[in-house]
A and B are shown apart, each in its own frame.
Chain A
């Protein structure tokens, strides 16, 4: 699976949009971009995933650049409960590559 690079930490004011970047310059054509987060003392929580089109669900939006070398997770109106470590994971669509490879992620702190 391709390697991802994320900032170590970010801050965001409550109510504002949180934009979390991820670089995956070696991504290949059959690899998806997944985002998970881990709120303190809980298990990782699935947020969203995409291949090449932008995606939106009730939690967030995922913007993938046209060359697919980077992406941005957007939390449109961050709340204090969004404080967590966010993981960008690239995952191949092949047999035997189903495991998730977690990096160090981005620690997002949402403040009042």
Chain B
């Protein structure tokens, strides 16, 4: 069974540009989460999808971040325009239906904004 995949693995962009990160969850997983770690800080929750619906987006830092999950399969996280403080590692995780199902993480996308 394939795990959670993320694309790209690395992205280097200039301040003001737009970047779109993609996450493909484990097949059949209804729950999809985005987390990120910025330099020197802890891993922080961004948002949670149940199928195509946003269940919890309390961790989204500001309106420059837009997450979508059309059709309830893969998800994208767009940062527009990117700022220096957006640099970090963005992780995606997925889990099966249910409130206590284990979350499985992808390898992350390393974003560097110059």
- A: which residues have CB within 8 A of B? 32, 34, 38, 42-46, 49, 91, 93-104
A99 touches B91 (CB 8 A): no
A-B contact pairs, 28 of them (CB 8 A): A32-B100, A42-B107, A43-B93, A43-B105, A43-B106, A43-B107, A44-B43, A44-B91, A44-B93, A44-B105, A45-B105, A46-B103, A94-B99, A96-B56, A98-B31, A98-B48, A98-B55, A98-B99, A99-B48, A99-B56, A99-B59, A100-B33, A100-B45, A101-B45, A102-B35, A102-B43, A102-B44, A103-B42
What 15 additional pairs, Cβ within 8 angstroms, besides A44-B93, A100-B33?
A44-B43, A44-B91, A46-B102, A46-B103, A91-B100, A93-B99, A98-B33, A98-B99, A99-B45, A99-B48, A100-B45, A102-B35, A102-B42, A102-B44, A104-B42
At the interface, is chain B mostly helix, strand, loop or mixed? strand
> Given the complex, which residues of A lie within 8 Å of B4, measured CB to CB?
43
B99's partner among A38, A43, A95 (CB-CB below 8 A) is A95
Chain B residue at smallest Cβ distance from A91: B100
- B: which residues have CB within 8 A of A? 4, 31, 33, 35, 42-45, 48, 55-56, 59, 91, 93, 95, 99-100, 102-108
A32-B100, A95-B99, A98-B55 known; A43-B45 Cβ under 8 A: no
Distance between B25 CB and nearest chain A CB, rounded to angstroms: 13
Distance between A35 CB and nearest chain B CB, rounded to angstroms: 11
> Given the complex, which residues of B lie within 8 Å of A100, measured CB to CB?
33, 35, 43, 45, 93, 103
> Given the complex, which residues of B lie within 8 Å of A49, measured CB to CB?
102
> Given the complex, which residues of A lie within 8 Å of B48, measured CB to CB?
98-99
B100's partner among A42, A46, A93, A102 (CB-CB below 8 A) is A93
> Given the complex, which residues of B lie within 8 Å of A98, measured CB to CB?
31, 33, 48, 55-56, 95, 99
> Given the complex, which residues of B lie within 8 Å of A99, measured CB to CB?
33, 45, 48, 56, 59
Chain A residue at smallest Cβ distance from B3: A43
How far apart sit A102 and B95, CA to CA, in the bound complex (Å)? 17
> Given the complex, which residues of B lie within 8 Å of A91, measured CB to CB?
100
